């Protein structure tokens, strides 16, 4: 079953293979560079009606050096059956592409990570026919990122660190560092990495801590027009303004230049949120700016409407 953690691994390693830095360092290889990778089909199904899919499969093809295939799996708990599948994946990909295969397993839990290191043997009596020895990216092998400058230089590694150390005693400090380091980017990039980490933390208590940390970072000095507010909050306001105009368009309401200019010029998120809510029910585009009329039945607390009747 594909989980959110699997999805985070898909996106992280497919789009940012530089997150393999701990693997390449351990192997004595130069730091990975995105141009050296291209994605392969994760389908490992044979003619038999048994579907098998690796989470992510990448080809590493540097200008100089050995080419090999990387098979990436995300594992949240011990699973002997999955260990058997890994042996199959390695054998299948080795035969299909006729080159070495490196199996990388991503784990958040320390005990699961220790188990996933294997080795997993296929043996008869004293004779071992096959051995599968995954490289595990987990709490034991991924560095704890506690320096914001590292986050700015290596956001993919920082995101991976936040995910795999989510159960560490230093998890809160890591999340704080990663969050503050990520706001150095443009709003769109910041939002992307925030979501990668949040998806990777699904089903963990740390996810709520991450959401709180993000909120604290965003609103630490509200209204002071800091560099972060100019980059990030204005970016959020622009996105909300686009949402309002899109809703009006989908609902078939004519949007004048005056309405469009007023919506796009607004940078106050609270105001834009109110306008967005009104855009869902307004009968005209101009209606997003109109306050709800007070009900005739609204009277001061404890006062009967009859009090205001003329004798």
Look at residue 49 in the predicted model and tell me its pLDDT: 44
The model's pLDDT over 241-264, given as tens digits with 9 standing for 90+, comes to 998 999 999 899 999 999 999 999
With beta carbons less than 8 A apart as the criterion, state whether 5 and 108 touch: yes
Picking from 168, 120, 159, the residue whose alpha carbon sits closest to that of residue 140 is: 168
Mean pLDDT of 174-201: 86
Say yes or no to pLDDT of 310 above 50. Answer: no
The model's pLDDT over 3-32, given as tens digits with 9 standing for 90+, comes to 555 666 667 888 888 889 998 899 888 888
The pairing of beta strand 56-60 with beta strand 68-74: antiparallel
Gap between the Cα atoms of 122 and 194, Å rounded: 41
Exposed/middle/buried for 310, CB within 10 Å: 0-12, 13-18, 19+?
A: exposed
Say yes or no to pLDDT of 2 above 90. Answer: no
- Structure tokens, 239: 């996105």
Question: In the block, which residue shows the tokens 């050995």?
Answer: 66
Look at residue 134 in the predicted model and tell me its pLDDT: 96
Phi and psi at 245, nearest 5°, equal: -65, -35
Look at residue 47 in the predicted model and tell me its pLDDT: 44
pTM for the predicted model, two decimal places = 0.64
Picking from 105, 91, 78, the residue whose alpha carbon sits closest to that of residue 20 is: 105
The model's pLDDT over 45-74, given as tens digits with 9 standing for 90+, comes to 554 444 567 888 999 998 888 899 999 999
Look at residue 308 in the predicted model and tell me its pLDDT: 36
Gap between the Cα atoms of 13 and 78, Å rounded: 22
| Ramachandran area for residue 116 (φ above 0: left; ψ -120 to 50: alpha; else beta) | alpha
Gap between the Cα atoms of 71 and 104, Å rounded: 6
Q: What's 132's DSSP letter?
A: E
The model's pLDDT over 173-187, given as tens digits with 9 standing for 90+, comes to 999 999 989 888 877
DSSP letters for 47-90: SSS---B-SEEEEE--SSS--EEEEEEE-SS--HHHHHHHHHHH
Cα dihedral 91, 96, 102, 108, rounded to 10, equals -80
Residues 6 or more apart whose CB falls under 8 angstroms from that of 209 comprise 171, 172, 175
* Torsion sign over Cα 75, 79, 81, 83: positive
More confident residue, 113 or 222: 113
Composition of the chain by helix, strand, coil, percent to 5: 50, 10, 35
């Amino acid at each position: 079953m594909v989980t959110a953690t699997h999805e985070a691994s898909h996106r992280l390693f497919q789009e940012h293979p530089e997150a393999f830095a701990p693997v390449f360092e351990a192997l004595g290889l130069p730091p990975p560079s995105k141009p050296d990778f291209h994605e392969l089909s994760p389908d490992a199904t044979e003619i038999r009606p048994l579907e098998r899919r690796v989470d992510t499969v990448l080809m590493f093809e540097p200008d100089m050096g050995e080419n090999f295939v990387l098979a990436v799996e995300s594992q949240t708990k011990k699973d002997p059956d999955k260990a058997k599948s890994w042996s199959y994946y390695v054998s299948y990909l080795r035969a299909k592409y006729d080159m070495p295969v490196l199996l990388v397993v991503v784990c958040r839990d320390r005990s699961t990570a220790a188990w996933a290191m294997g080795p997993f043997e296929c043996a008869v009596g004293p004779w071992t026919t096959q051995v599968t020895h995954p490289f595990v990216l987990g709490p034991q092998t991924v560095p704890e990122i506690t320096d914001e400058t590292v986050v700015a230089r290596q956001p993919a590694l920082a995101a991976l660190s936040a995910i795999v150390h989510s159960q560490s005693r230093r998890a809160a400090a890591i999340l704080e560092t990663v969050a503050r380091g990520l706001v150095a980017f443009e709003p769109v990039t910041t939002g992307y990495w925030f979501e990668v980490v949040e998806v990777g933390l699904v089903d963990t208590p740390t996810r709520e801590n991450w959401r709180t940390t993000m909120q604290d970072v965003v609103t630490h000095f509200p209204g002071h027009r800091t560099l972060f507010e100019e980059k990030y909050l204005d970016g959020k306001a622009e996105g909300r303004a686009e949402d309002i105009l899109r809703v009006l368009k989908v609902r078939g309401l004519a949007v004048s230049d005056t309405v469009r200019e007023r919506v796009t010029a607004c940078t106050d998120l609270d105001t834009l949120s109110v306008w967005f809510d009104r855009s869902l029910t307004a009968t005209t585009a101009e209606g997003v700016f109109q306050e709800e009329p007070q009900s005739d039945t609204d009277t001061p607390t404890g006062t009967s409407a009859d009090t205001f009747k003329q004798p």
